[in-house]
Amino acid sequence: MRNEKNKIDNVRHSLAHLLACAVLQKYPKAKLGIGPTIEHGFYYDILFTNTHESGHKLARITDADFPELEKTMRKLIAQKLPFSGRKVTLAEAKKIFKDQPFKLDLIKAFTSPPAGGKKQPLTVYKTGEVFLDLCRGGHVKNTSEIDPDAFTLTHLAGAYWRGSEKNPQLTRIYGLAFNTKKELDTHLAMLDEAKKRDHRKLGVELELFTFDERVGKGLPLWLPKGTAVKNEIERLAMEKEEQYGYVRVSTPHLAKQSLYETSGHLPYYADGMYPPMKMDDGAYYLKAMNCPHHHVIYASRSRSYRDLPLRLAEYGTVYRNELSGTLAGLLRVRMLSMNDAHIYCRKDQIEEEFKRVLALNLEYFKLFGLKNYSFRLSLGDPKNKEKFVNEPANWKYAEGVLRKILKASGVKFAETRGEAAFYGPKVDVQFTSVIGREETMSTIQLDFAAKKRFNLAYQDKGGKENHEVFVIHRAPLSTHERFMAFLLEHYAGDFPVWLAPVQVKVLPVANAHTAYAEKVFAALIERRIRAELSPANETLGRRIRAAELQKIPYLLVVGEKEQSAQSVNVRKRHEKETKNVSLERFTKTLAETIAARKE
């Protein structure tokens, strides 16, 4: 696998050089930045500020130039050009790149690093006799190793030189590259599918949520349809948590500074929190996490060993001070509604409680049809006592228990040493979405530190106060925002009927059938089925098409025939055939299907 990775990286790096060469052939006075490999491809940063070789002022490069650049790159590949590298002296490097200011800047950085830095050797790589670049390698030995049909240039972006807005902005030309054309085509098809499934696009089309500058970046506004889905997911969580023995709590959206000092979030997490609000009784912060509040609830009265485990759940809203440039639709926001809970238990209860948390996770995954997941067990480092709580016996015991449970469950998991939370080991749930993006959906964390910070205790069987209270943090449905983005892309907006914002749309054939359509609509609402009634103000075909674009699971068309028979003509999503069913039978069956979350 590593050899394969090196091979494709060498291909991609070589293509970056060929791209720069092709650009210089068309624009000889262009100034080159850097051209590294990235996941699935490569890019090259270039400054286009000079004139074209014809003497005309150079217009900004556009993607319309890509076919010509690709054609030049393929001609270079066909020449079977060798790649060769060699070390050069500082004087040689300056001479070679005397007309390339960004290369000279790199040369200076490599040979005169800041205090404490290490000088780096200067190497150049030659592509046949047509191109020379400052580069560390690696490359293919010869361009004949590159499949000329397995790459393409994709898009442009702006990029400040060396990442600083004080420096010139260069044009970044991106490309994709694979070993074969088939792999490239597969990836392009996936990218096309990703565009269709983009949660930001679907969120607007399905009228689920919106953002507005007057409210602020990263602060989603849930529209009625999006709120319906949000409520359904929260209802599911409430039902499942009740079955699993959780009790629900509700906590404020802000708290005094002293709470977050006790929890340890201040001053260490201050950058991730909103600035304090000065009040007459001290400074208050918007809540960035629910756990300190839950710890206070646990400690609000004395607890017996009989009270444990205590499972406190809350769909709590928290606020994170994310930089505006890092915000990305619902995946990264400043307001998050977390499917949060904290389990307070004795040491001998950790195994059973963790097992139950894992079982609940797997139950959710099955219900939502999520299959491409794995777990990552993050362990502490006994040698690093500054980063991790110094409780070696608890670390050893807890890590062993978590490993045992994961093995027994048969789930796919990997271990990473030194990646645990400072207060205990954790298990992250990793998903690869249908569009190929891997992300951490949720986490299960074991906490040794809260008991000391919040003086958590219980009365043991002998009546003595025992401070060995362990806390399990868990959020199987992640934040609502992230989970909604994931589900939108997973289902491509085609929510199962129990989760769909509008489950049924009633369409009268003509105005004469409106009264019966209203009766059908009322019967659906009585069964607590989310329905809409379409006015007969356009042709039936146009209204059916509009409803299909909204991805509504069931369309009920009612005309003279249906009115006479007290029935409905049912059009089920993605099915061509329709059927007539009695109104009573349809509403009863659908209500049962929704209640059971069968589809």
pLDDT attached to residue 3: 64
Which pair of structure tokens corresponds to residue 226? 């999006």
Residue corresponding to tokens 């759940």: 313
279 shares a domain with 314: no
pLDDT tens digit string along 152-161? Answer: 999 999 899 9
Distances (CA, A) of 391 to 44, 377, 425, 458, 469: 49, 18, 12, 20, 14
Task: Choose the final residue of a domain: 180, 196, 212.
Answer: 196
Q: Helices 2-26 and 66-78 sit at what angle, rounded to 10 degrees?
A: 110
164 shares a domain with 41: yes
What CATH number is given to the structural domain containing 54?
Answer: 3.30.980.10
For the residues 250-261, what does the mean pLDDT come to?
A: 95
Distances (CA, A) of 137 to 91, 172, 245: 21, 20, 58
144 shares a domain with 34: yes
332 shares a domain with 275: no
298 shares a domain with 269: no
- Burial label for 32, CB within 10 Å (0-12, 13-18, 19+), is buried
What CATH number is given to the structural domain containing 574?
Answer: 3.40.50.800
Exposure class string for 360-389: b at 16+ Cβ within 10 A, else e: bbbebbeebebeeeebbbbbbeeeeeeebb
Compute the distance between CA of residue 556 and CA of residue 581 in angstroms, rounded to an integer.
10
Task: Choose the final residue of a domain: 262, 289, 316.
Answer: 289
397 shares a domain with 283: no
Which pair of structure tokens corresponds to residue 9? 């990286």
In a domain, 204, yes or no: no
pLDDT attached to residue 233: 95
| Residue 275 CB neighbours (<10 A) | 10
64 shares a domain with 93: yes
pLDDT over 60 at 276, yes or no: yes
Compute the distance between CA of residue 342 and CA of residue 397 in angstroms, rounded to an integer.
20
In a domain, 203, yes or no: no
In a domain, 394, yes or no: yes
pLDDT over 90 at 264, yes or no: no
Confidence grade of residue 4 (pLDDT, cut at 50, 70, 90): low
Task: Choose the final residue of a domain: 236, 270, 289.
Answer: 289
Q: What's the domain range around 283?
A: 254-289
How far from the centroid of its chain's Cα atoms is residue 103's Cα?
36
283 shares a domain with 299: no
153 shares a domain with 87: yes
pLDDT over 70 at 59, yes or no: no
In a domain, 213, yes or no: no
Pairing type for strands 123-127 and 131-134 reads: antiparallel
Lowest mean pLDDT among 60-74, 281-295, 427-441: 427-441
Q: Helices 583-596 and 514-526 sit at what angle, rounded to 10 degrees?
A: 30
pLDDT attached to residue 340: 93
pLDDT attached to residue 259: 95
Sign (positive/negative) of CA torsion 279, 280, 283, 289? negative
Number of domains in the chain: 4
Distances (CA, A) of 365 to 412, 487, 578, 594: 14, 11, 32, 18
* Residues 168/158, Cβ–Cβ less than 8 Å: no
For the residues 339-346, what does the mean pLDDT come to?
A: 95
| Residue 345 CB neighbours (<10 A) | 22
pLDDT tens digit string along 89-139? Answer: 999 999 999 999 999 999 998 988 776 677 888 999 999 999 999 998 889
pLDDT attached to residue 50: 54
In a domain, 214, yes or no: no
* % of the chain exceeding 70 in pLDDT: 97
480 shares a domain with 359: yes
In the three-class reduction of DSSP (H, G, I as helix; E, B as strand; rest coil), residue 126 is classed as strand
pLDDT over 60 at 53, yes or no: no
In a domain, 539, yes or no: yes
In a domain, 8, yes or no: yes
For the residues 7-24, what does the mean pLDDT come to?
A: 95
* Residues 12/137, Cβ–Cβ less than 8 Å: no
For the residues 524-540, what does the mean pLDDT come to?
A: 95
* Residues 519/566, Cβ–Cβ less than 8 Å: no
Sheet strands side by side (includes 578-582): 531-533, 504-508, 554-558, 567-572, 578-582
273 shares a domain with 391: no
127 shares a domain with 184: yes
pLDDT tens digit string along 567-594? Answer: 999 999 999 899 999 999 999 999 999 9
For the residues 371-388, what does the mean pLDDT come to?
A: 85
In a domain, 497, yes or no: no
What CATH number is given to the structural domain containing 409?
Answer: 3.30.930.10
pLDDT tens digit string along 395-436? Answer: 888 899 899 999 988 888 988 898 888 888 999 998 887 777
